[in-house]
Amino acid sequence: MSHPRTPARRGLVWAIVGGIIVLAAVGAIILSAVTAQAPTADPSPSSGPGETSAPPATAPPTGDYVDQSASEKGWAPEPITTDPETYVRAALAAAATFDTRLSTRPEWLAYLDTWFTPDTRYTSEEDREEDMRASQLELRQGVVLPEDEWNSLANEEGRVTAEVPGEITYDDVPEDASGDMRIGTADVVLTFTRSDGSGSETSYDETVRVSVQVLCGAGSIPTRESAQQPGDCKVVRYFSGSLEP
Amino acid sequence: MGAPVAAAAALANTRTGRKIVTGAILLLALFAALLATPLIAVPFAVAGQSVATTVERRPALITNSEWAYPLAGGYFKGRGFGFNPVIGCSYCSIDHQGYDMAQGCGATVYAAGPGEVITAGSYQGYGNAVRIDHGGGLVTLYGHMQWGSLRASVGATVAAGAPIGAEGNTGRSFGCHLHFEVQRDGAAIDPQPFMAALGLQLK
């Protein structure tokens, strides 16, 4: 009974197989047409031949510095000094001096890491290293301008220079038997400069009050491959939040 | 090679085959229509948008005091006036001079009150901003508007509720919002009680 229907059934099977092949072929053609389209370029601006390179944000420093070329990247160079006044002033400025045209935020933060030295109140090397890493994390998460602000500035070729024009107030560091560590607090004037969408630039100032703990004396670890010596001033930590009422 | 040839023969010679071909053609037509949809829909959408931009979404509420909300309709409130530290940033200002409000990028910003435009363009950290002098030492400021969106120029006289620009993310801003600031004799004052006194409650 089923023998006479076998050729027809076989034909139906082939027809279904053929139909699937036809649809698969059509699908493949459509897919290849879609995927073969060239990717569109991001509309981000690129430097044209007529554009000039951005000048350094800060003037080349004079005197002794760990890396004088830091200013070429828009950063504040670290002074080589044993004078807390000079160093605190520089450290407070450094944590808000950058040029988004000349470096990335991670590069700038890595540079600021080189200013740090461990807190000598810890007796073990391991604790000192751990505390310094925590202070460097605090710098990123609680002290410097946040990444959103960096990106906002970068969108408008922004940079910031900071300076401490006034007096610095000092506090002792608790349980510091050496007396070599100090906490300096001062008003820091941040000057923001950014393009205004019409090709020209606008600048404005903002004043914040920030504290930094420095070590000027035995136990400070100099930056590698620099002229800095043990005993020269280094940063122990920047403080997130105000230390004053 | 054998299978496709046999399939083609079966498609041509059997009723079922013809049905499969018809189905395949219908499916192909469906795919073609799907692919062609953007070609038809996009021009209509663009045309519709260009028509829509000539009409204001909603007028800003104007009260008997002849003042209006700087954004029409609902909005999200951002940082308020006064002591307002940015968590996790020692180098950020702790004093916020204005009242941040947001509807979304491109939302129309309206003049809160009648007066003369004294700033229209880049203004300090406010990005693309408009300042309006309302007389008597009173000035309102509208900050962070989109570049190229300003509809007011310096010296122009505007009425309350007049569109002056579009909400943006220019200047010292971390996202589209309007920084609405009220200044009296050069000093920023809290916009909330000021507007409330005019019958316009801010959140």
A94 lies within 8 A of chain B by CB? no
Check B91 against A210: CB less than 8 A apart: yes
Note the pLDDT of residue B26.
Answer: 78
A170 lies within 8 A of chain B by CB? no
pLDDT bracket for residue A17 (50, 70, 90): low
ipTM over 0.85: no
| Residues of A (180-209) whose Cβ lies below 8 Å from B | 188, 190, 192, 194, 196-198, 200, 202, 204, 206-208
For domain A70-236, give the CATH number: 3.10.450
On the question of pLDDT at A23 being above 50, the answer is yes
**Cα dihedral A122, A126, A129, A130 sign:** negative
Query: Most distant CA pair in chain B: distance in Å?
Result: 94
Using the structure block, give the residue that is written with the tokens 């002056």.
B164
Check A142 against B8: CB less than 8 A apart: no
Chain B residues within an 8 Å CB radius of A105: none
Nearest-CA neighbor of B109 among B24, B176, B154? B176
Which of A9, A20, A21, A22 to mutate: most B Cβ within 10 Å?
A22
Identify the top-confidence range among A1-10, A207-216, B60-69: A207-216
Chain B residues within an 8 Å CB radius of A142: 88-90
Range of weakest confidence among A46-60, A113-127, A132-146, A152-166: A46-60
For domain B76-198, give the CATH number: 2.70.70.10
**Cα dihedral A158, B105, B176, B198 sign:** positive
Listed by start position, the domains of chain B span 76-198
Mean pLDDT over all residues of chain B?
Answer: 83
Identify the top-confidence range among A139-143, A145-149, B31-35, B125-129: A139-143
On the question of pLDDT at A241 being above 80, the answer is no
Range of weakest confidence among A59-68, A107-116, A127-136, B13-22: B13-22
Listed by start position, the domains of chain A span 70-236
Nearest-CA neighbor of A135 among B151, B29, B90, B152? B90
pLDDT bracket for residue B64 (50, 70, 90): low
Joined tokens for residue A171:
């506090």
Residue of chain A whose Cα is closest to the Cα of B13:
A11
> A164 vs B7, which has greater pLDDT?
A164
pLDDT in tens, A202-223: 889 999 999 999 999 999 999 9
Task: List the beta strands (DSSP E) in chain B.
Answer: 76-77, 82-83, 95-96, 99-102, 108-110, 115-122, 128-135, 138-145, 157-158, 163-166, 178-184, 187-189
Mean pLDDT over all residues of chain A?
Answer: 82
Q: B181 Cβ partners below 8 Å, 6+ apart?
A: B97, B98, B99, B140, B141, B142, B143, B188, B191
Nearest Cα of chain A lies from the Cα of B81 at a distance, in angstroms, of 17
pLDDT in tens, A93-111: 999 999 999 999 999 999 9
Nearest Cα of chain B lies from the Cα of A225 at a distance, in angstroms, of 30
Nearest-CA neighbor of B178 among B142, B150, B153? B142
pLDDT bracket for residue A22 (50, 70, 90): low
Query: Is A234 in contact with A220 (CB distance < 8 Å)?
Result: yes
pLDDT bracket for residue B1 (50, 70, 90): very low
Note the pLDDT of residue A197.
Answer: 66
